[in-house]
Structure 1
């Protein structure tokens, strides 16, 4: 049996998206991609906002943007798309202070959507999300190097924060601890979801490349990167995909005319029942009117060509199947 698991970049449901969604059906945010999402066996996203109507904006340090979505529509929207796991280790989970983070955790738990990367304490933030996808047991851990003031500790809520440096002893200890917990559940597939690096950067730095490869060498089957707001290239290391950045999936952000942060992909992995990743299929997407859509032909052409260019330095070459790029990982 083969399972199909989707991975997206940032899903930001706050601000203008939140306002627009209050006046349209809850699943409108998924646009023309909804049926493709619902056809997957599993779906993992980076949730780039809190799910709450409470809290006040973080003012302890300078934060220019604060993202919050009303759970009355946002939670049903996540359910309608079939979201299984939300990675929460990012730079927005404390935008409305601790009360809104706690609401987010409770709302996801109440909906049966697994989450990882943030919690009441660091220990909780390091706990893996465990889901069964079409009979395939999947464990997801989540880390971020963004916004160290949002880091959880032994007594305070926040994120699973690390420095992206494979030689850093604390990073190695923390990551290995999380991976060991995940492996303790005997998963068929182990995913590391990373919100790493600054915005609008088109290529991962050498330290990220080294870290992604190190994660694979530690037993991670899929590296799921996000944070740059633009997609980056794909590398295959020891037969496992490193998605350095999956870009933005839905948001209300201003669009850079050159970098086209409104364009990305739905990354769909075909997984054998023994956990072997057989294929990575990239379906072009484009954000319009605070919703994600199947990319029109010109946008899809641009995204495919750009992905080929960004992935070529890693020795990664794609085939084409309809509008999708296809990367075969079978031996």
Structure 2
């Protein structure tokens, strides 16, 4: 039996999204994509905000943006979309200090939504999230190289922060620790969710490429990258897809007229019962009115052309199925 597991880029539910959601239905943030999300067997996102009404904006270092969503609507919205797991290792989980991070974790736990990449200590942040999707057990770990001041340590809450460099000894030790914990859960599918690199960059640096391939060689079945706010190319290494950046899925960000950070994809991995990925399907999406929608024909064509161009340097080519692109993984 094949299962379809969705992966998205940044889901930022704060600021104007939060404001609009107070005056519209809980489902509205998912726009015309809601039915497609609900039809998936599983869904993993990068949650780019905290779920809390408490806390003060981080002031210990300069932070230009602070993202916080009211859990009264945001948690039910995640539930309505069928979100199974949230990557929390990113540069916004301490935007409203430790109390809001703790609230976020508590709300996700109460909703039964798995999470990885942040916690009360670095030990908790390294723990994998485990999700059962039909007869497939998925485990994912989450890391970031953004905002080192948000890093957890042995005594303080925060993120699973690392240098995304295979030559860094501490990075290798920390990642291998997390992967070993994940393998101890005996997963069918092992995913690494990485919030890496700066904004508005269209290609991963060579160090990220080396890091991604190293993770695959260490047993990771799929790499779920994000952070740039624009999607990047996809590489297949030893049969495993490396989504270097999934772009943005929903937010209120200003749109760059050339890079089109409002355009992206819902990434759907088809996985067999033993956890083997057989294809990756890219369904074009578009952000409008602080909600995510199926992309217009022109936007979809632009995104398809762009991801083909960015992926060509990795030797990656796609088939076409309607509005979607399909990347076979079992050839």
TM-score bucket (shorter structure):
over 0.9
1:37 aligns with 2:37: yes
Superposition deviation, residue 275 in structure 1: 1.1
Tell me the distance in 1 between the aligned counterparts of 2:313 and 2:208.
Answer: 15
- Following superposition, the deviation at residue 247 of structure 1 comes to 0.1
Residue in 2 that maps onto 1:166: 166
**Separation in 2, partners of 1:27, 1:122:** 34
Structure 1 residues 147-182: Cα deviation after superposition (integer angstroms, max 9, x where no partner)? 000000000000000001101000000000000000
Match of 2:109 in 1: 109
The answer to whether the aligner puts 1:258 opposite 2:244 as a matched pair is no
Matches of 1:205 and 1:330, distance apart in 2: 27
Q: Distance in 2 between matches of 1:285 and 1:203?
A: 20
**Secondary structure, in 3 states, of the residue corresponding to 2:154?**
coil
Instruction: Measure how far apart 1:274 and its partner are.
Output: 1.1
Partner of 2:123: 123
Structure 1 residue 184 corresponds to structure 2 residue 184: yes
Where do 5+ consecutive residues of structure 1 fail to align?
none
Report the Cα distance in structure 1 between the residues aligned to 2:183 and 2:279, rounded to whole angstroms: 23
Q: Who is 1:267 aligned against?
A: 267
Q: Distance in 2 between matches of 1:329 and 1:304?
A: 18
Task: Kindly provide the CA deviation profile for residues 196-229 of structure 1, in whole angstroms up to 9, marking residues without a partner as x.
Answer: 0000000000000000000000000000000000
CA separation in 1, counterparts of 2:195 and 2:240? 19
The 5-angstrom pairing of residues 1-331 of structure 1 reads 1-331=1-331
User: How far did 1:243 drift?
Assistant: 0.2
In 1: Cα distance, 2:37 partner to 2:135 partner = 18
Within 2, Cα distance between the matches of 1:76 and 1:28? 12
Aligned counterparts of 2:95 and 2:226: Cα–Cα separation in 1 = 18
Helix, strand or coil at the partner of 1:231 = coil
Q: Distance in 2 between matches of 1:46 and 1:16?
A: 18
2:156 match: secondary structure:
coil
TM-score (norm 2): 1.00
**Structure 1 CA distance, aligned partners of 2:71 and 2:187?**
30
Show CA shifts across 1:77-132 (max 9, x none): 00000000000000000000000000000000000000000000000000000010
Q: Any unmatched runs of 5+ in structure 2? A: none
Distance in 1, matches of 2:39 and 2:257, equals: 32
Distance 2:28 2:176 in 1: 40
In 1, the alpha carbon distance for the partners of 2:275 and 2:218 equals: 16
Determine the C-alpha separation between the residues in 1 that align with 2:316 and 2:111.
Answer: 38
Q: Secondary structure at the match of 2:313?
A: helix
Report the RMSD for the aligned CA atoms in angstroms: 0.3
Cα separation, 2, equivalents of 1:306 and 1:89: 27
Q: Distance in 1 between matches of 2:24 and 2:64?
A: 28
Tell me by how many angstroms 1:134 deviates. 1.2
TM-score with structure 1 setting the length? 1.00
Equivalenced residues, count: 331
Alignment partner of 2:197: what SS? coil
The 3-state SS of whatever aligns with 1:232 is: coil
